[in-house]
Every structure is written in structure tokens, then in C-alpha cells.
Structure 1
Amino acid sequence: MKKTLAVAAIVALMSAPVFAANTQGGFTGPGSTATTTSQGGGFSGPNGSVTTVEKAKSMRDDAWVTLRGTITERLSDDVYTFKDATGTVNVDIDHKRWNGVTITPQDVVEIQGEVDKDWNSVEIDVKQINKVSK
């Protein structure tokens, strides 16, 4: 009896990711093929001031930014090109950050995250992404 319960518990744990994968979201556009899972909850309200890509590139490492623009292309698994009126920057969006939302290059999005500066590059490590009505 204990073995049967143990096997049933293991099967249930192993199949949970399969059921969670049914909630789709993420970027739909050039280079996209990935699926994501949904994780609900979080703060919904005023996000502070929105900055520009040009200003974000000159901010210090780990500075918190809010940007509004479009995601134009997928470059690799989690890296995308983000564009606003002042320029473009690469953004790193982990699969869990999509929260079941599907984004296309025509959608205006608001992203919040941290500036990630290396020796000769700037990237935004996205912590939250929302589709904005035009």
C-alpha cells in the first residue's frame, strides 16, 4: 500500500509541469519559438516614472528602470531587442516573467527591471512586463 501511494505521488509530481505548460505566453515575432508558464499575482498600480532607452544606457549598474516601447525581435532564449523613440537595448526576460501574456512586435509594452552593465554593453534584466493599451 505504501509503495502504491509513493508511486502515485511521484507520478503526480512529475506530471505537474506538463499541466502547467498548457498556459501559453511570451513573445510572438521574429525568432520566437519558446513557450512559457504562467505565474499570477503581483502589484498592479502606478509604476513610477517611465524613462527612455537613451537615459537607461547612461544609468549606473543595477539602477531600477521602467521603459515603454516595443519588443521587436528575439535574439536568443531569453534575450530580446527592445525599442523606444530614443533607441534600442537588449532585454533579458526570463520565461517566468511573461505571466501568460503573448506579445507581438506591434504591441506597446512597459517593462520594469535593472540596468545590467558589463565592460562594453548595457542590458536590462526584466523583472516585470505588461502590455500597454495604445
Structure 2
Amino acid sequence: MDKKVLFILLGSLLSVGAHAEEKGGLKPGEAPPPPHAMDEGYRGIEDARISTVEKAKEMHDGASVSFRGNLLKKTADDRFKFRDKTGEIDVQIPPSVFDEREVKPDHLVTLSGSLDKKQDPPLVRVSHLEK
């Protein structure tokens, strides 16, 4: 009799676990809308306020910035010249941020980081690069 009760309890616990797996998680369905068609929800880097080089030069030291533009050239070991439609600024991008991705001057990239106005000229210390 005890074995029957144990078997029933074990069976019910396993069925609850299997039933729980059916709820939640990612389910197949329609493709998500393109980012420009989203009205609400998390959109990753698209949610970050995209600034311009011109505006960044007026911001305070340590301000968080995001730019969309092109890396023009390497100026030092981990320093580059970045340009958007409003101007150019020096950026510092550690190799770990590149994460072995190759970027060319004609690639449109989004950079996020913090503004260092103590440097002359001002510099953006990049913490995220999206190609």
C-alpha cells in the first residue's frame, strides 16, 4: 500500500513539472515587428537617447552619450576619430569592446559611452559598440 501512495505522489509531482514547462518561455509565432514599427517595449540600444557630436561638446564631464556614425581612422593605440552628421570627436575603444568584430570606415556604427571633457580635446570612452 505504501508503494502505491509513493508511486501516485511521484507521478503527480512529475506531471506538475511537465505542466509547468508548458507555461511561459518563448513560443513560436509571428515575426516581431521591425524596430521602427514598435510603439512600446524594450528595444535595446534604440531606446538610448542618440546624441550628436555637436550636442556632446556642450554636455558636462561624465555624461552618458550614444552616437550613430562612422569610425574614420585610428589615431593611437585604442583611440579613433569618429564622425557623425554634425562633426568629429575622439573616441577611446578598448579591444574588448570590439569583441573581434571588424569595422570599416564605411560601416555605420552606434557607440555608447561616457564623455571625458578633462581631456583636450574632449574624448568619449566607449563601453558599447553596435555594428
**Bigger helix fraction:** 2
| Bigger proportion of residues as strand | 1
For structure 2, list consecutive stretches of 5 or more residues without a partner in the other structure.
1-42
Counterpart residue number, 1:76: 76
Question: Whose Rg is larger?
Answer: 2
The 1:119–1:46 alpha-carbon spacing in structure 2 relative to 1, beyond 3 Å, is closer
**For structure 1, which runs of at least 5 residues remain unmatched after alignment?**
1-42
Q: Distance between the aligned counterparts of 1:98 and 1:87, measured in 2? A: 23
Q: Distance in 2 between matches of 1:128 and 1:88?
A: 18
Asked if 2 retains the 8 angstrom alpha-carbon contact of 1:47 and 1:66, the reply is no
- What one-letter code is carried by the residue in structure 2 that aligns with 1:53? V
What does 1:1-134 correspond to in 2, within 5 Å?
A: 44-118=44-118, 120-131=120-131
What do the CA deviations read for 1:59-103 (whole angstroms, capped 9, x no partner)?
101100000000000001100000011100000001110012110
Identity %: 30
Deviation of residue 120 (structure 1)? 3.7
Which amino acid counterpart does residue 80 of structure 1 have in structure 2? F
RMSD: 1.6
Tell me which stretches of 4 or more aligned residues in structure 1 moved more than 3 Å: 43-47
Structure 1 length-normalised TM: 0.62
Q: State the Cα distance separating 1:119 from its structure 2 match.
A: 5.9
